[in-house]
Structure 1
Amino acid sequence: MRSAVVPDVAAIERQVRALITTGRFEDAEALLRPALASGSGPVALWKLLAAALRPQGRIAETRAIQEMLVAHAPGDFPTRFDLSETLLLLGDLERGWREYHYRYSLAHTAVIGRRVQAPRWDGRPVPGRTLLIHDEQGFGDTFQFMRMVQWAKARSGARVILEVNAQTLSLARRSQDTLGFDAIVARGTLPPPFDLHCELMSLPMALGLTLADLPGAIPYLSADPRRVAKWRERLAALPRPLVALVWAGRPTHFNDANRSLTLAQLAPLARPGVTFLSIQKGPAAAQAGDPPAGMSLVPLGDEIRDFEDTAAILSIAELLVSVDSSPVHLAGALGRPAWVMLPFVPDWRWLLARTDTPWYPGMRLFRQPLRGDWGSVMTAITAELARLVA
């Protein structure tokens, strides 16, 4: 009797990881399927199958595998976090926020988790107490979730101290009446005494946030009138409409290769009568020195000192066209028009298969119809830009 062939799991795992790293997701799936054909198999291979299916846009299948893995090993925190992002992408916020709580139980994030010697606020009223709400992740996350401070204030009945990074401090401070906090401090400084705390991105879990609760009052941030006056003078002689551009995100972001473009890829947007403003920062800003043929582009990156300058420019420009980046969330918080270029499988906050977003009224989403197909995105935006100019 012939014995069953036992697959070399370690060898398959090495090959699959190499394929996933190089974006060959279909090949990775094909290599995994025989080893998992019985419906059982090593957990490591099931995890890799989920990692191969998700970039293909097969989100329901991804969720089913992740649910199975979490049921099998509830203490597998990386898988629980992966499941959280899948649930949130699908719009299942209630469970998604609960699983998202595991974000600081991962090997690479444990070191940045805030160790606070006070209970975490769980959404219950705590009148007479002091609640510290502190930001935790990227600038875009801070802009997006800052709106919830006022909801936490109303729900808790507490005195609220808001702690944010220094780069967004002045924008938040100016909106104190809207955001409803009682005091504000910069991250890295010693806050006043407090009784409870909550991370900014744990507020949705504490508040039981649903899609129906969004967007809340818009705008909830405002630009500095003095900066607006300065930039209005700077841009006064430029032909309108003014369209701000951001084509690349932060290079150190784990998903940057999936979401970022080059300026050259935006060449189809060039058209007479439109002045593009490069508000791109970071290494990609240098590309503004060599714009595509026919594109009237004014590079502003070197003149932008901080987010106050960015907010002022967005308040003057007719439109922002951007990849998934912090200026998108700043524009949304300011209530300014923005068109967002999204990869085939976007970050969880953009949900699936919709051209709008519950987070920001009036914002438009332009999605890749196929993985890597930025050309179709450019075609769609070019047509809409022509209508806007007309």
Structure 2
Amino acid sequence: MKSAAELEAEGRAHLEAGRPEEAERCARQALADGGGAVGLWHLLAVALRIQGRVGESLDIYTLMADRLPGNLTIRFELAELLLLMGEFERGWREYRYRYNMVHTMPLERRMQRPRWDGRPIPGKTLLIHDEQGYGDTFQFLRMVAWAKRRSQARIVLQINHEQVGFARRLTGMDWGRADELVLRGSLPPPFDAHCEMMSLPMAMGLQLSDLPGLDREWAPYLAADPVRVKRWGRRLKSLPRPLVGLVWAGRPTHLNDANRSMALDRLAPLASTGTTFLALQKGPAADQASTPPRGMRIERLSDAIADFEDTAAILTHADLLVSVDSAPVHLAGALGRPAWVMLPHVPDWRWLLGRADTPWYPTLRLFRQPARGDWDGVIREVAEGLRGLEGERRG
């Protein structure tokens, strides 16, 4: 008979190999045999979550967090599960632990001023600094103007070089007069309070009903560079429509990339939809556009795309973006451009569960795997939608 430790090790190997059902079996067997170590309960919670049994997983995470409040990894994973289920109030509170784990502590920026708690601080200066990935910044830039209104403070936004142009065009801000932009890595001016961009929801008590996707008066909060828009208009004007941007893989170093990305060949059913695809893919997967599926009309643009400013300009001219969960999706949503997002069965927390729309961006449509790993079902649905798009255009 295998020991609890052996069963746990076997279960974790099953998880790494993409077999959560077997991982669950190992965890349950060890627990039934008298094992009660936190590692086994954690293994079971992760295995259930991957299978899409999020309610069962949440029960275990809640129990573990209550009994082991100092286990910050468990609390962070609990936060993502709560946010996935739309339980924002507790989810944002738990999400603050993202920089308290051993492997994330080096990423935290230490500040000598208090973190803003959401109350008005008129006459004071509030430093907001971006964090994490490009998609996160595109998504949460909208909250900078909200924080300005709530705090009644002067805003200093510290942001990475790649996205500073978008920040300059952010609606609701007064850069160069009341507010100031500084680049990450440079010394900000004196400030009275600070807040990470993704801690703004906690500070402001963000609820689902507060999101622009549920607001009839919602408007795009980012804009493309007019110079780039004109340049790409000249480049794309001779291509037959509809023009559909295409991204099939995310950042390879992302922890969940194997679950959210695919090869271009997998999208072969889209070749028969009468669409001109604009390959916006960057990174190692971009080379796949040189040998697309048979019959797919695709323009490889990656070599001409210098940065997200080019991507934004292209999206301004495209009829649609079809993409896996990636930064261009958030850019399209922030620009108010239409995008179809191909999601795994259990997606990243920001896409919630069981809905084809998203309250974050009213111009996005979500295509979810009906079962774990079933990209074929998603691709068939996207292909049908594209044929309908072509029919509408001809009609």
TM-score range, shorter chain: over 0.9
TM-score (norm 2): 0.95
Matches within 5 A, 1:1-390: 8-37=3-32, 41-175=36-170, 177-179=171-173, 182-215=179-212, 217-271=218-272, 273-390=274-391
Post-superposition shift, 1:158?
0.7
Distance 2:124 2:305 in 1: 40
Give the secondary-structure state (helix, strand or coil) at the position aligned to 2:387. Answer: helix
TM-score (norm 1): 0.96
**In the alignment, is the contact (CA less than 8 A) between 1:149 and 1:180 conserved in 2?**
no
What amino acid is the match of 2:298? L
What amino acid is the match of 2:127? L
What do residues 282-317 of structure 1 show as CA deviations (whole Å, max 9, x unaligned)?
A: 000000000111110000000000111000000000
Post-superposition shift, 1:179?
4.2
Distance 1:173 1:373 in 2: 41
Deviant stretches of 4+, over 6 Å: none
Give the secondary-structure state (helix, strand or coil) at the position aligned to 1:270. Answer: helix
**In the alignment, is the contact (CA less than 8 A) between 1:245 and 1:280 conserved in 2?**
yes
Question: Relative to 1, partners in 2 of residues 1:180 and 1:75: Cα closer, same or farther, differing over 3 Å?
Answer: farther
Distance 1:190 1:362 in 2: 37
Distance 1:170 1:39 in 2: 58
Distance 1:39 1:319 in 2: 55
What amino acid is the match of 1:102? Y
Distance 2:308 2:254 in 1: 19
What amino acid is the match of 1:308? E
Post-superposition shift, 1:54?
0.7
What amino acid is the match of 1:242? L
Question: Relative to 1, partners in 2 of residues 1:180 and 1:101: Cα closer, same or farther, differing over 3 Å?
Answer: farther
Question: Relative to 1, partners in 2 of residues 1:340 and 1:180: Cα closer, same or farther, differing over 3 Å?
Answer: farther
What amino acid is the match of 1:59? V
Give the secondary-structure state (helix, strand or coil) at the position aligned to 1:151. Answer: helix
**In the alignment, is the contact (CA less than 8 A) between 1:97 and 1:204 conserved in 2?**
yes
Distance 2:26 2:275 in 1: 49
Give the secondary-structure state (helix, strand or coil) at the position aligned to 1:184. Answer: strand
Distance 2:266 2:243 in 1: 19
**In the alignment, is the contact (CA less than 8 A) between 2:273 and 2:383 conserved in 1?**
no
**In the alignment, is the contact (CA less than 8 A) between 2:341 and 2:367 conserved in 1?**
yes
What amino acid is the match of 2:329? V
Distance 1:139 1:228 in 2: 21
What amino acid is the match of 1:207? M
Distance 1:170 1:352 in 2: 33
Post-superposition shift, 1:116?
1.0
Post-superposition shift, 1:278?
0.2
Runs (5+) with no aligned partner, structure 2: none
CA root-mean-square deviation: 1.3
What do residues 171-221 of structure 1 show as CA deviations (whole Å, max 9, x unaligned)?
A: 11122x434561111111111111110000000000000000011632000
Post-superposition shift, 1:160?
0.5
**In the alignment, is the contact (CA less than 8 A) between 1:171 and 1:223 conserved in 2?**
yes
Post-superposition shift, 1:130?
0.4
Post-superposition shift, 1:9?
2.4
Runs (5+) with no aligned partner, structure 1: none
What amino acid is the match of 2:356? T
Question: Relative to 1, partners in 2 of residues 1:272 and 1:155: Cα closer, same or farther, differing over 3 Å?
Answer: closer
Distance 1:284 1:107 in 2: 32
Q: Give % identity.
A: 62
Distance 2:237 2:113 in 1: 51
Distance 1:38 1:286 in 2: 51
What amino acid is the match of 2:51? Q
Post-superposition shift, 1:36?
1.8
What amino acid is the match of 1:152? A
Distance 1:38 1:118 in 2: 51
